[in-house]
Amino acid sequence: MDEALGWETTLTPEEEARLREKDLKRVSFCLNTCPGCKIARKKQRGFWYQAVRASDDKLCPWCASYARVLGKRAYEPITEEDIAAIPELKRAR
């Protein structure tokens, strides 16, 4: 998906854990709160779909975290199985 996903890391395990926690908070925001991403995933067309697709992980740190953690772009549809695969992640009802 991204070349950045294959980079070597020089972080300590504590730093990696802190970054993982930060990524999960950002993913939670993107999944449950962000109006643009929620509409883009739901409708798969229209203004928000094009805007999120154009900005994607290049401009938005929440979309970048979403792509890193879930392996999908923020505008791509997501299933409950994708969310269940990450125990720390919860979808707001």
Range of the domain at 61: 25-93
In tens digits, the chain (93 residues) has pLDDT values of 445 556 666 878 888 888 888 999 999 999 999 999 999 999 999 999 999 999 877 889 999 999 988 889 999 999 888 888 888 887 776
Entry pTM: 0.78
Whether 5 is in a domain gets the answer: no
Contact call for residues 89 and 24 (beta carbons, < 8 A) = yes
Asked whether residue 14 is domain-assigned, the answer is: no
What phi-psi label fits residue 70: left (phi over 0), alpha (psi between -120 and 50 degrees) or beta? alpha
| CA-wise closest residue to 49 among 77, 68, 90 | 77
Residue with tokens 């070597």: 8
In a domain, 84, yes or no: yes
What total of structural domains would you count in the chain?
1
Domain assignment of residue 93, yes or no: yes
